[in-house]
Structure 1
Amino acid sequence: MSYQVLARKWRPRTFHELVGQTHVQRALVNALDQGRLHHAYLFTGTRGVGKTTLARILAKCLNCTANGRGDEGITSTPCGRCDSCQAIDDGRFVDLIEVDAASRTKVEDTRELLDNVQYAPTQGRYKVYLIDEVHMLSTSSFNALLKTLEEPPPHVKFLLATTDPQKLPPTVLSRCLQFTLKHMPPERVVEHLTYVLGEEGVAFDESALWLLGKAAEGSMRDAMSLTDQAIAFGQGAVRHADVAAMLGTLDHRHILALAEALADVDVQRLLAEVAQLAEQGPDFAAVLDELSSMLHRLAVAQMVPDAVDNSHGDRDVILQLASRFTAEDIQLYYQIGIQGRGDMVHAPDLRSALEMTLLRMLAFRPQGVPKPPRTQLPLRREPSETVAPSETVANEANASVQVADKASSVPEPLPEVKSAPEAEAVSSSASGADISNSQVASQPSVPVAQEASSYQEESPAQEPPPWAVESKMATPEREAAEADVAQQTPELATASEAPATPGPTATLTSEPVDKPTPVSVPVETPAVTATTGKLDNAQWLQCFDSLGLGGLTRNLAGNCLVESDDGALLTLRLDPSQEAMQAEVHQTRIERALKEQGMPRRIAFYVAELASHLETPRQREDRLNQERHANAVDLLNHDPHIQKLQQAFGATLIESSVKPADEMR
């Protein structure tokens, strides 16, 4: 007996043997069981998904003479043993007329076919016309078919199949029940090939089946044909190396190796993998395409793990690899990969273009937001603060210095007092301080950093003069910080809150002064009262800003509550909406920031719903922003100038455009 190929040998003969297409199977089975039969069916879909197979199974159901129940009649479970079923399986059933529309496109062929429609079936219950590739018929052939297709004799059924339903006239589509068959996913192909090869007794590698399933591109017939070829190529076995060589495709393991080198930021291993690829003479443009496709899968794995494409059978590997990247790294790598693909046409050779693209990914990878310096600096005066007369004089004499919140700029020298009237203003407003013009004019100009350091070295515990203590800005953050300072340094808090009295507060003699009088008192608010103690949620809120976190790490930590702290392990309860953002790099950054604050801890995340009575740093920030916005809107509503505009011109305040003063700065 001659060899029969796998695609024909394992062709389904009943609906229950059909692989996939559950939606079509269900509709046809229910229609057959209930006797609700249409006179024309149209099956659409790509090649090798089962259009002709479904039509033949339906023809057997209509003409089976001994169904599974032992009686005669239409059934959804043909027996496969009666003369009609065996004749249809063998292709010799006279009442099943199969027409290849691709070779019989003329109107004369269609008219000849329809001349026999009026005659009753010879052997079966129905005369079935199976027209394959029906979209190839000419316009005249469709016109000749329309009337018979709409009202055929009761003993005639039309089964049409096509891969391009867009080419069919709407008049034909409206006369048929249309069933669209889906692509076969690689998972379904691998599952079916595993069963077939097991029944055939052929040894195989599962990874080789994934290569075949990917190469089949949704066609089960193509997968069976490629499996036949792989068995012959591998001398009776289906092995990964043989299938990769037969298909001439890129080994997916090389792409995984490149992605792992990117995750480890290992440039040497990255170039070594490219060199190993070059020995096989691959298409380097295809390598970059595959890498970009993998970066897309990694991004999906971080955001929606359940939606990861498993076309390569490496879902678990992708999920594990995704945890080694940050989201910003993947997005940047993908963008660089897409742009590098377009630049390949301008490169001297494709290998150097691939290497430069990979090196560019690592050269421009995010390094994190730099942390603000933790050195003690003089306090900065806010523009909205009021200045007392005594402070005005001191500012003219010593040039009050403003320092940025997060990054210190190059210190500028204090301006010297050049005119005598300015010195007289100083002596007249000092309220008892005996200062001569020559003493004020001879005061040297000293940079801010030197001035602050000299004051700390000379008198670290000395209370500053009243004019050096800055006024308070009425914001919740500053009030909370000053309350914390007041608990730990009550003397300083008392000094800062004491009102300026007109009495003498400082006396300057005529002796030369080696070091200038300090401008302000450097105050550094500690993050936690005792670094050796255990963190609770209140202390977590206090120390959060001082950790200096940025980017996605700050966003992740800002959505956490303190679950527990035993002094060595800090467990943070994470909002479930941020679960996909977990990564080892964020955990490492938080642990490093806590260690720099004198609180060495290991971090563990616990995903659960947040407690309603506790507040995360992100929630606190949102609340404070809302309060500041509400205060700004209230101030504008009560402003007399705004009220005049509203009364005179009917103006309306757009509250969404209002920004507090601290945001404007």
Structure 2
Amino acid sequence: MTYLVLARKWRPRSFDTLIGQDHVVRALTHALSTQRLHHAWLFTGTRGVGKTTLSRILAKSLNCETGITATPCGTCRACTEIDAGRFVDYVELDAASNRGVEEMTQLLEQAVYAPGSGRFKVYMIDEVHMLTGHAFNAMLKTLEEPPPHVKFILATTDPQKIPVTVLSRCLQFNLKQMTGESIVGHLKEVLDQESIPFETPALRLLAQAASGSMRDALSLTDQAIAYSAGNLTGEAVQGMLGTIDQRHLVELLQALAAGSAAKVLDVANELAARGLSYTGALGDLAVLLSRIAIQQRIPGTIPADDPLAEDIVQLAGVLHPDQAQLFYSVAVHSRQELSLAPDEYAGFVMACLRMLALVPVNAPAPPAPGPTGPARAESPGMADAAPLRPEPEAAPEPSPAAFAGQAEAASPEPTPARALRNEAPAVRVNAEAAARPAIPARPAAIPEADDVPAWEDAPQGSSQASPPAGHAVRQDHPVNAPAPTTAQASAAAGTPDDDAGGFETMHIPDQEYFDDAGYEPIGLGDSGGDEASGDFAPPQGAQEDIVPALFAAERKKAKAPRPRDMTAQAWPALAASLPLTGLAAELARQSEWLGSQGEQVTLRVAIRTLAESPGKARLRTVLSEYFGTVIQLDVEYGATGDETAHAVEQMQRAERQKEAEQAVANDPFVQTLVNEFGAQVVPGSISATPRNRAA
């Protein structure tokens, strides 16, 4: 007996066995039950979603010997012959090979005759979009008013190519792609009926490879059965499809999260050794990243039976949401660039290295105090990254004077604020260095390892240690230590050194910044400070916000304006001077300033298309650069007044025009021509626009 493939053997025979097209089944079932039958139906959808199957079931429902019904019997002569493809009154026409006007004319000539054995003549035209324009025109009249015994069923994968004159004569049903879960469920039923052992992960791989087509899924299942000798395991299906083991992608993301380029290269070499597709690897990586992002936004959405559920949850906790989005973008765009790479291996490796390069290396966060000393807190991506500055060998022994003021620190106080205030180290700023307008570009000497403040390993309560550059905290108990040298002061203040790659550029905030930020200068009478020392102490709890405050200090030094200082009267001049072109420039010129709340700026424009134009994003970027902070722009639609750059420009132009006309009228030569020769100034001939002198 000839073997019948699964796609044909398990083709649905009735509406209740059709998978994934409930919306079409519902409409057709109700129409058949109420006898409200149209004369032409159009089924659209991708390959393998059930267009031909629906056509045959509908033909059986129309010609079943039990009557017009939504549940054909499947045993009468009409039903069995339609399933076997030999029913004389059911004609399936392939428009790809019968696309001319001659074939269509021949079909329509036969349509006028009554059916031979059935109730209706049903013409099913597959891939109808392949018909020529003349063929479409030839069938229009018959398609609109066919004989009572004729029904047309059209099917296509590209409805955009069908003339609207044909679409308007048909009931159109769009068949959806099958979901992965529906394909897996149907494959389980088929394999159970066929008594073939399988693994659910293998069926998920087949459903993913089918891309929403049930016929493709069944065809791939046939191939997998032959490949695995009747045992559908996940490993066998992966070998047949050449897909990537998801464990490799998990290891890749773990290496990216740890910042380990060596481990990333090991994964790429493993994929190369197995001969797997790097295009597929990037696609699967993007899918995995999307699942991680969903888990981060909506926890608990990963099914418990998913073999990668535990890994996805773990990676969702390790990767920052911004990193997940960045990795996804790189993976998606790198698939398009693989064709431009010298080879796929190089393109894949460069895509992974780009993910590492685009993620900024975060500096270590300030440690929380503990009983044995503060522990260094690192971000997930700092495992293999180079340290930002040299590590001290050991914390120096504090001098006896360092414990002179420890009584207050030893007093019990459970609040964390007191612990931070007492145990946080201090940075002493030399008054002469603070008074200089700029910090020297290069220190006199590079401090040795013993000179670097060992703030991380210092014992609890020790005031000898110093924090990283830029952290200024109060020191109530000074240490008897010699005055720092120029190089040490520069290193303590964050002065960069060209040869020491671990130091970063840092500016010392001036007195004006500390006054605005709420910091108090330590004056005479305070322990550990005098007028010449230039020490500054932050208020309680200010250590956590010192880095954003330094950026605010830089912004203040640059005299950048603030959104709250902008007024509606000053906005037209600013809008006209912004470096914008196109829609963004027109949006700025036509808008009116309504005010700001923090970083939220609100404008109003009288043209709706401008309020919804892409120029809004460009205007937001330019305003962020102008104000020196990230601006959130909200554009409202409504009537505007005279406080727009466009209105101001129109008023200025009108004033110039009036002045120009007045100047011409008062010109002695013009008055002579008017009085003596009867000349007159032609209205509209005077322009206030200055002429180009070069012309």
TM score, norm. by length of structure 1: 0.58
Do structure 1's residue 129 and structure 2's residue 123 form an aligned pair? yes
Residues 38 and 653 of structure 1: CA distance in aligned 2, closer, same or farther (over 3 Å)? closer
Matched-pair contact (CA < 8 Å) for 2:475–2:537? no
Q: Which whole-Å CA distance do the structure 2 matches of 1:175 and 1:93 have between them? A: 26
Residues 402 and 295 of structure 1: CA distance in aligned 2, closer, same or farther (over 3 Å)? farther
Counterpart code for 2:17: E
Residue 257 of structure 1: CA displacement?
2.6
Q: Which whole-Å CA distance do the structure 2 matches of 1:220 and 1:241 have between them? A: 22
Report how many residues are paired: 452
Deviates more, 1:208-217 or 1:239-248: 239-248
The 5 Å alignment of 1:614-625 reads: none
Do structure 1's residue 547 and structure 2's residue 541 form an aligned pair? no
Q: Which whole-Å CA distance do the structure 2 matches of 1:215 and 1:130 have between them? A: 29
Q: Which whole-Å CA distance do the structure 1 matches of 2:31 and 2:333 have between them? A: 53
Residues 64 and 133 of structure 1: CA distance in aligned 2, closer, same or farther (over 3 Å)? same
Deviates more, 1:50-59 or 1:216-225: 216-225
Matched-pair contact (CA < 8 Å) for 1:263–1:325? yes
Counterpart code for 2:154: L
Counterpart code for 1:9: K
Please name the residue that 1:48 is paired with.
48
Deviates more, 1:19-28 or 1:368-377: 368-377
Cα displacement string for residues 152-176 of structure 1 (whole angstroms, at most 9, x for unaligned residues)? 1112111111122222221111100
Q: Secondary structure at the match of 1:245?
A: helix
Do structure 1's residue 258 and structure 2's residue 241 form an aligned pair? no
Residue 349 of structure 1: CA displacement?
5.2
Cα displacement string for residues 245-271 of structure 1 (whole angstroms, at most 9, x for unaligned residues)? 222333333223322332344444433
Please name the residue that 2:373 is paired with.
none
The answer to which structure, 1 or 2, has the higher relative contact order (CA under 8 A, 6+ apart) is 1
Counterpart code for 1:318: I
Residue 82 of structure 1: CA displacement?
2.3
Please name the residue that 2:292 is paired with.
298
Cα displacement string for residues 410-451 of structure 1 (whole angstroms, at most 9, x for unaligned residues)? 9999xxxxxxxxxxxxxxxxxxxxxxxxxxxxxxxxxxx9xx
Please name the residue that 1:19 is paired with.
19
Please name the residue that 2:234 is paired with.
240
Aligned pair partner of 2:426 in 353, 373, 376 = 376
Q: Which whole-Å CA distance do the structure 2 matches of 1:260 and 1:95 have between them? A: 63
Residues 110 and 549 of structure 1: CA distance in aligned 2, closer, same or farther (over 3 Å)? farther
Please name the residue that 2:64 is paired with.
64
Q: Which whole-Å CA distance do the structure 1 matches of 2:166 and 2:216 have between them? A: 30
Aligned pair partner of 1:525 in 530, 534, 539 = 539
Matched-pair contact (CA < 8 Å) for 1:369–1:549? no
Q: Secondary structure at the match of 1:104?
A: coil
Q: Secondary structure at the match of 2:318?
A: coil
Residue 12 of structure 1: CA displacement?
0.6
Deviates more, 1:31-40 or 1:334-343: 334-343
Residue 140 of structure 1: CA displacement?
2.2
Q: Secondary structure at the match of 2:110?
A: coil
Matched-pair contact (CA < 8 Å) for 2:293–2:325? yes
Counterpart code for 1:518: A
Q: Which whole-Å CA distance do the structure 1 matches of 2:250 and 2:598 have between them? A: 50
Please name the residue that 1:221 is paired with.
215
Residue 355 of structure 1: CA displacement?
3.5
Matched-pair contact (CA < 8 Å) for 2:93–2:125? yes
Residue 281 of structure 1: CA displacement?
2.3
Aligned pair partner of 1:91 in 85, 89, 99 = 85
Residue 90 of structure 1: CA displacement?
2.0
Q: Which whole-Å CA distance do the structure 1 matches of 2:103 and 2:544 have between them? A: 82
Q: Which whole-Å CA distance do the structure 1 matches of 2:289 and 2:546 have between them? A: 26
Q: Which whole-Å CA distance do the structure 2 matches of 1:262 and 1:139 have between them? A: 56
Please name the residue that 2:101 is paired with.
107
Do structure 1's residue 185 and structure 2's residue 182 form an aligned pair? no
Cα displacement string for residues 588-629 of structure 1 (whole angstroms, at most 9, x for unaligned residues)? xxxxxxxxxxxxxxxxxxxxxxxxxxxxxxxxxxxxxxxx98
Please name the residue that 2:142 is paired with.
148
Residue 236 of structure 1: CA displacement?
1.8
Q: Secondary structure at the match of 1:190?
A: helix
Please name the residue that 2:114 is paired with.
120
Residue 239 of structure 1: CA displacement?
2.2
Residue 37 of structure 1: CA displacement?
1.2
Counterpart code for 1:525: P
Cα displacement string for residues 487-508 of structure 1 (whole angstroms, at most 9, x for unaligned residues)? xxxxx99989xxxxxxxxxxxx
Q: Which whole-Å CA distance do the structure 2 matches of 1:549 and 1:293 have between them? A: 39
Counterpart code for 1:84: A
Cα displacement string for residues 105-142 of structure 1 (whole angstroms, at most 9, x for unaligned residues)? 23222222222322222222222111112222222222
Q: Secondary structure at the match of 1:175?
A: coil
Matched-pair contact (CA < 8 Å) for 1:369–1:550? no
Matched-pair contact (CA < 8 Å) for 1:633–1:658? no
The 5 Å alignment of 1:146-185 reads: 146-185=140-179
Q: Which whole-Å CA distance do the structure 2 matches of 1:216 and 1:228 have between them? A: 13
Residue 330 of structure 1: CA displacement?
2.4
Cα displacement string for residues 458-512 of structure 1 (whole angstroms, at most 9, x for unaligned residues)? 79xxxxxxxxxx999987x73xx87xx9xxxxxx99989xxxxxxxxxxxxxxxx
Q: Secondary structure at the match of 1:183?
A: coil
Provide the identity percentage.
45
Q: Secondary structure at the match of 2:111?
A: coil
Superposition RMSD on alpha carbons, in Å? 4.6
Matched-pair contact (CA < 8 Å) for 1:40–1:176? yes
Counterpart code for 1:53: T
Residue 353 of structure 1: CA displacement?
4.6
Q: Which whole-Å CA distance do the structure 1 matches of 2:301 and 2:97 have between them? A: 44
Cα displacement string for residues 560-610 of structure 1 (whole angstroms, at most 9, x for unaligned residues)? xxxxxxxxxxxxxxxxxxxxxxxxxxxxxxxxxxxxxxxxxxxxxxxxxxx
The 5 Å alignment of 1:304-383 reads: 304=298, 314=308, 317-337=311-331, 350-362=344-356, 365-368=359-362, 375-377=425-427
Q: Which whole-Å CA distance do the structure 1 matches of 2:161 and 2:110 have between them? A: 27
Residue 7 of structure 1: CA displacement?
0.9
Q: Secondary structure at the match of 1:116?
A: helix
Residues 33 and 314 of structure 1: CA distance in aligned 2, closer, same or farther (over 3 Å)? farther
Please name the residue that 1:505 is paired with.
none
Q: Which whole-Å CA distance do the structure 1 matches of 2:174 and 2:309 have between them? A: 29
Residues 125 and 351 of structure 1: CA distance in aligned 2, closer, same or farther (over 3 Å)? closer
Mind listing any 5+ residue stretches in structure 1 that lack a counterpart? 67-72, 381-397, 414-448, 460-469, 486-491, 497-514, 527-542, 555-627, 638-651
Q: Secondary structure at the match of 2:72?
A: coil
Q: Secondary structure at the match of 1:323?
A: helix
Mind listing any 5+ residue stretches in structure 2 that lack a counterpart? 368-423, 445-470, 482-510, 550-561, 570-591, 600-626, 630-695
Please name the residue that 2:278 is paired with.
284
Q: Secondary structure at the match of 2:359?
A: coil
Please name the residue that 2:465 is paired with.
none
Residue 219 of structure 1: CA displacement?
1.3
Residue 234 of structure 1: CA displacement?
1.6
Q: Secondary structure at the match of 2:224?
A: helix
Matched-pair contact (CA < 8 Å) for 1:400–1:519? no
Matched-pair contact (CA < 8 Å) for 2:243–2:277? no
Counterpart code for 2:47: R
Cα displacement string for residues 285-340 of structure 1 (whole angstroms, at most 9, x for unaligned residues)? 54344434433443344335688899x98566434422220123224434555676
Q: Secondary structure at the match of 1:237?
A: coil
Residues 265 and 3 of structure 1: CA distance in aligned 2, closer, same or farther (over 3 Å)? same
Q: Which whole-Å CA distance do the structure 1 matches of 2:547 and 2:531 have between them? A: 37
Matched-pair contact (CA < 8 Å) for 2:252–2:264? yes
Matched-pair contact (CA < 8 Å) for 1:49–1:218? yes
The 5 Å alignment of 1:498-647 reads: 518-520=532-534, 522-526=536-540, 543=541, 545-548=542-545
Q: Which whole-Å CA distance do the structure 1 matches of 2:37 and 2:92 have between them? A: 20
Q: Which whole-Å CA distance do the structure 1 matches of 2:525 and 2:513 have between them? A: 13
Matched-pair contact (CA < 8 Å) for 2:43–2:154? yes
Please name the residue that 2:395 is paired with.
none
Q: Which whole-Å CA distance do the structure 2 matches of 1:454 and 1:161 have between them? A: 85
Q: Which whole-Å CA distance do the structure 2 matches of 1:278 and 1:655 have between them? A: 58
TM score, norm. by length of structure 2: 0.56
